[in-house]
Amino acid sequence: MTRALIVIDIQNDFCPGGALAVAGGDEIVPDVNQLMTEFDAVILTQDWHPAGHSSFASQHDGAAPLSMIEMPYGPQVLWPDHCIQGSPGANFHPDLTVDRADLIIRKGYNPAIDSYSAFFENDHSTPTGLEGYLKTRGITDLTMVGLATDFCVNFSAVDAARLGFAVTVRTDLCRGINLGGSLAAALSGMAEAGVTVA
């Protein structure tokens, strides 16, 4: 059994002071760094949007951040501009032990479609390549930590379980946005998908 830690989107824009700050997002960094030492592999994901991404509220006339819109691939939250490629906000939190990572998966770089999951874009069919990487390395068990519990962690965990991985989400090392009850819905949805919510 080979175990991997998937560290999701611990980036400046998701931490206090960032463009899409998750409350307490920086609090988890020391314990995530410590946890990295316990796994055979560490994978970091990085939200990596081009400027003017279609999921940004600024690209839709009169749309407020955190409102919903229907995209060709389904419902989409419109976000404040965040994690723009090459910007300080897209960088990993400065205290995160980035050098421990075997792989960094960037997502959300297609301007026409958002990407919450580490495995698929939001059409649920365009792959990031992470599944193939894990399977060719013989990795079967995944533990997920990071930001935000109810979006990128949730989508990643559910997709991983659907792909046949054994998945644990360490909720003590995640923080959520909780947009209209999204946190409770994510926790129950992950459990229903067979994810161990620890």
Residues annotated as part of the active site: 9, 107, 152
Longest dimension (CA), the chain: 51
Q: How far apart are CA 35 and CA 127, in angstroms?
A: 27
Instruction: Please report, as a single letter, which amino acid is at residue 89.
Output: G
Instruction: Please report, as a single letter, which amino acid is at residue 76.
Output: Q
Q: Which helix (DSSP H) or strand (DSSP E) does residue 119 occupy? A: none
Report DSSP letters for 18-62, one per residue: STTPPTTTTTTHHHHHHHHTTSSEEEEEEE-BPTT-TTBGGGSTT
